[in-house]
A and B are shown apart, each in its own frame.
Chain A
């Protein structure tokens, strides 16, 4: 029997959670393929297009749009990684039987990754077909261009598909590294602690040129310094997200007055990394969204109006940020599902002791709120700094501030909604059946 036949046989024997994981991996891969095809498609456009198409109308702004499409891979990668962790202990437990049959740990992990690869390949093909059909329709309806040829050249298209499958496979391998499979069973390695407080220095360093710019300090190589500052701020924000979530959970845990807040804060503090991964993407989206507030304010201050080109451009940027936030937050749904699966017996015991379902649901919701508040607030503040500028009419300064508050609120809302979306699994997780010794 070949390796692939074994993988196929194991795939068919998966549990319900594992099948859900396979579908989510396929969905993530399809989304990633669409974004990469979008980037390739925009780069191959020729000539001036209709102004209503915003930044893809102009030749000069197309590389930026393609880059933005590429950036959308970040939330999808976080989603794929998180999805890969879903039911990993379940799956590895099933694969542990192979260890008894003589398979090495490496072969077991490879089989696990192969399952991810298969789902990713299926999702990539579906995503490619969906994109091509969508692109043909848009060409015909909006651009009135001939629909005889696909916009994505074959070579970049195939390369994008291969890249997505590779990323999914690596995510699958990485997600499985927290589980150790032996012939006697499966143990999940202790979760990694968040990075030390030193990591907070990175965004602080990044903010220095921004603050200098705001207070009017003259600096050499100004554009380079600003670019470096913005880059360091963005990278620092992503690196320090786990630390910020941990700090937020620690503060909430110490000050908790209710059982729900205490349970939520302590659960977050114990397993910060998955939240940190999502918050790094959400935070980046909040920071970018806050930053665009200054650009919009600058335009409105200078021109007192926004022409269709810029209006469409800003709308598309906001839309992209919202999609990025939604995809990143969706990763939390899979993390919460994993949390409920692992904590099922403990939560069922609490329920047996008289804790109401509504109180357990509040624990989940508060996890989202506690995790998101600090990273999103810091991200909004950092986003306000880079492009701060003097305006002719100071009243316009209210626009970016309002925008930043709104973006931070959206970040918290996205995290909270994601936790709400996972609550339907609670009923099954705390059923009396989970009280039995497994």
Chain B
């Protein structure tokens, strides 16, 4: 069953056309890698699929509902309730501890501090990062940062996890570990995972690979 779909979407930044009529369909529970060279439009496609930005033409549907026509507030609610995001370098709040960073989405969701902290610690344990729960991002290694970021993305039990180059800044061993934890947790959760990467080793973990070139879907590798 299709959970997320883009139909002939186009997006331009000034004179640069980042997406030129891309159509993709992603099923529930599927792990999809979006690959392609730098500047091909991979990240823009991910931003459009996740409702972070809207395409100029075309449609984006999530769970049978068109999301590109929703206003910013509705898309924000959708992202909070149904999506999780992981970016390169973790992008954690530097002033908060690892546990507080993971608890943040729960707190924004209206949960109590203690309850959020307990859930956050449980997720850090799953990500094998409980030992750094009280450390701040500046004190963590790249791999630890990404594991905490993955915990933050998954803590609310999202239906879809979007990951933009989640292992791009890591060495191969740390990258494999982060990716393994992300995919395992997503499978247990039943989450769909959309990973943007230019690393073939990362793409090899996906059920399907969508290749983007010059703003267009150039092919699908199963």
**Does B associate with A?**
yes
- Residues of chain A whose beta carbon lies under 8 Å from any beta carbon of chain B: 256-259, 262-263, 266-267, 269-270, 343, 345-346, 349-357, 359, 432, 435-437
Are A355 and B94 closer than 8 Å at their CB atoms? no
- Residue pair A349, B91 in contact (C-beta under 8 Å): yes
**Interchain CB contact under 8 A, A257 and B93:** no
- Whether B105 contacts A263 by the Cβ 8 Å rule is no
Among B43, B83, B93, B164, point to the contact of A266 (Cβ < 8 A): B93
Selected A-B contacts with CB under 8 Å, 15 pairs: A258-B107, A259-B107, A263-B93, A263-B104, A266-B95, A349-B87, A350-B93, A350-B104, A354-B77, A354-B79, A354-B81, A356-B76, A357-B72, A432-B53, A435-B87
Q: Say yes or no: B76 contacts A259, CB within 8 Å.
A: no
Instruction: Kindly list chain B residues whose C-beta atoms are within 8 Å of the C-beta of A346.
Output: 91-94
Residues of A close to B113: CB separation below 8 A = 256-257, 262
Verify if B50 is at the interface (C-beta below 8 Å from A): yes
For the residues of A in contact with B, the DSSP-based class is helix
Q: Which residues of B contact A263 (CB under 8 A)?
A: 93, 95-96, 104
Looking across the interface, which residue of chain B has its beta carbon closest to that of A348? B91
On chain B, the residues within 8 Å of A357 by CB distance are 72, 76
Say whether, besides A256-B113, A349-B91, A354 and B96 are in contact (CB < 8 Å).
no
- Per a CB cutoff under 8 Å, which of B47, B81, B107 touches A432? B47
Q: Is the CB of B76 within 8 A of A351?
A: yes
The verdict on B112 contacting chain A, using a C-beta distance below 8 Å, is yes
Q: Is B84's beta carbon under 8 Å from chain A?
A: yes
Q: Which of A262, A267, A352, A359 has the most chain B CB atoms closer than 10 A to its own CB?
A: A352
Contacts A259-B107, A267-B95, A359-B108: A437 and B76 contacting too (C-beta < 8 A)? no
B138's closest neighbor in chain A, by CB?
A190
Measured CB to CB, the nearest residue on chain B to A347 is B93
Q: Tell me which residues across on chain A come within 8 A of B87, comparing CB atoms.
A: 349, 352, 435
Q: Check A270–B94 contact: CB distance below 8 A.
A: yes
- Nearest to B81 among chain A residues (CB) is A354
Interface check B168, CB cutoff 8 A: yes
- Docked-complex contact A355 and B88, CB < 8 angstroms: no
- The answer for the CA separation of A270 and B136 in the assembled complex, in Å, is 11
Contact string, B137-173, partner A, CB cutoff 8 A, digits 1/0? 0000000000000001100000000001100100000
